[in-house]
Amino acid sequence: MQKRVSRGRFLKTLGAAGVAGSTLTILSCQPNTNAASSGGGGGGGPEEKELALYNWSDYVAKSTIPSFEEKTGIQVTQDFYGSNEDLLGKLQAGATGYDVIVPSDYMVTVMIKSDVIQKLDKSKIPNTKNVGEDYTGLSYDPNNEYSLPYQWGTTGILYNKKETGELDGTWDPMWDPQFEGQIAMLADSRETLGAALYKLGYSVNTKDDGELAEAEAALKDQQPLLRGYFISTEVRPLVQNGDILLGHVYSGDAFLALAGNKDLDYIIPQPQASRWTDNMCIPNGAAHPDNAHKFINHILGADTGAKLSNYTYYNTPNQAALPKIDPALKDLPGYTLTPEIFERLEVIEDVGAKTREYERIFTEVRSA
């Protein structure tokens, strides 16, 4: 009896030792913010004709990938992520193998600072000249050393003009009690806190505690009037179906809704609103950086750029593609922006250590 029990115990002790040993190994490998050490690096010798594209789902037109594959003979594998932070987390935890990624503006800054993306070799991207002036040199990557724009847009208000009448053009209608239960805001902490900050006349990137406290109060006032906090693509059908009258949305969703319904309208509120840009970057440790550059160049081609935006309904940063954009799109309110509107658009930047404060405020507002 003694013998039997101790045999079992022996095996268990062995197992425990194994677990302990593996743990020590793991703990010595922290999630590395520098993925350059792992994965097959590029350079030296011709690359295989493959490309691993890591993009948002459904963010390419039907012809985008096939035309690239035909032109260059490079086979493209597509994989998908649904949030910038998911992408960042995966890269920082050491996942490699992706050649082109498409992070949003503020995330590019974070990625530069945490050293997960590499500098672009513009000599391999002649189509850089197609990118319009308004879309380069933005604060998140001042010299576009690491990124080139993919699509851009604004964040504004999609509303049912027939029911609400003409709005005053500011953010105030989103706080108007007469629309109680029929307003929707975005579930994005930066955008929604941003709307409150804009309403109060402050910057969306403020780090001032006083201003943030005021914004928090404003959001708490607004909360009872809201239907809820949603993702932009969920707001679109709510406005289309008449469940809500005023929705905080990204421009692409607004345009999709406007295209089908004459009663709707989209405004970019005064005094300020956000503009955002999704960008193409190459992660450290990419297996096919040369092919990646070719792909970026392809996207920046006039034809490809136009087809892309005609499919996604977002704006193209590609000056050369503009003439080929669907005229029906160009006529939609808020699609073609005047310099005056550009002036009052702010780019959401990473706020570093204050990020947690923004999150805490948003959690508190929603919990109220």
Partner 1 sequence: MSAKAGGPVYKGVGKIPDRALLLFSISIYAFLYAPILVLMFFSFNSTRSTQTWTGFSTEWYVALLRDQTIHDAFFNSMKVGITATLIATVIGTLTALALTRHNFRGKVAADTTIYAATVMPEIVVGVSLLVFFVATLIPLGIELGIVTIVIAHVAFTISFVTIVVRARLAGMDESLEEAAQDLGANPVTTFMRITLPLIFPGVMAGALLAFTLSFDDFVITFFVSGVGSSTLPLKIYSMIKFGVTPVINALSTVVLVATIALIFGGSRLLVRRENS
Partner 2 sequence: MGGKGRGWTFRLVGLLTPVTIWLGLFFLVPLLLILAYSFGTSNIYGGITLGFNPGNYLRVFDPLYLEIIVRTFVIAALTTLLCFALGYPLAYFIVFKGRRWRNALILLVMVPFWTSLLIRAYSWVVILSGNGIANKTLQFLGITDEPVTLIFTSQAVLMGMVYSYLPFMILPLYASLEKFDTRLKEAAKDLGASRWHAFWRVTFPLSMPGVIAGSILVFIPSAGEFVIPQLLGGSRTVMTGSLIQNQFGSARDWAFGSALSVMLAALLLAAILFYVRRVGADKLEGV
Provide the binding-site residues for partner 1, judged by CB under 8 A. Answer: 5, 8-9, 12, 22, 25-26, 29, 31, 38, 52, 56-59, 62, 77-83, 86, 89-90, 93-95, 97-98, 231-233, 236-237, 240-241, 252-253, 256, 260, 312
Q: Considering the complex, what minimum distance in angstroms separates the CB of residue 189 from partner 2?
A: 6
| DSSP string over 39-78 | S----SSPPPSEEEEEEETT-S-TTHHHHHHHHH--EEEE
d(CA 329, CA 327): 5
**How far from the centroid of its chain's Cα atoms is residue 71's Cα?**
29
Q: Which is nearer to partner 1, 24 or 368 (CB)?
A: 24
Q: Considering the complex, what minimum distance in angstroms separates the CB of residue 39 from partner 1?
A: 8
Q: Select the binding partner of residue 75 from partner 1, partner 2, none (C-beta < 5 to 8 A, by kind).
A: none
Closest among 146, 189, 196 to 175, alpha carbons compared: 196
Q: Say whether the peptide bond before residue 271 is cis (omega within 30 degrees of 0).
A: yes
Residues that bind partner 2 (CB under 8 A): 4, 7-8, 11, 15, 18-19, 22-23, 26-27, 30-33, 83, 85-86, 88-89, 92, 110, 113-114, 181, 184, 187-190, 223, 226-231, 234, 237-238, 241-243, 352-353, 355-356, 359-360, 363-364, 366-367
Q: Considering the complex, what minimum distance in angstroms separates the CB of residue 207 from partner 2?
A: 13
d(CA 95, CA 97): 7
Q: Select the binding partner of residue 229 from partner 1, partner 2, none (C-beta < 5 to 8 A, by kind).
A: partner 2
Q: Select the binding partner of residue 221 from partner 2, partner 1, none (C-beta < 5 to 8 A, by kind).
A: none
Interior/surface letters 68-79, b for 16+ CB within 10 angstroms, e for the rest = beeebebebeee
Q: Select the binding partner of residue 79 from partner 1, partner 2, none (C-beta < 5 to 8 A, by kind).
A: partner 1
Q: Considering the complex, what minimum distance in angstroms separates the CB of residue 38 from partner 2?
A: 14
Pair type for strands 75-81 and 264-267: unpaired
In angstroms, what is the C-alpha Rg of the chain?
24
d(CA 309, CA 329): 10
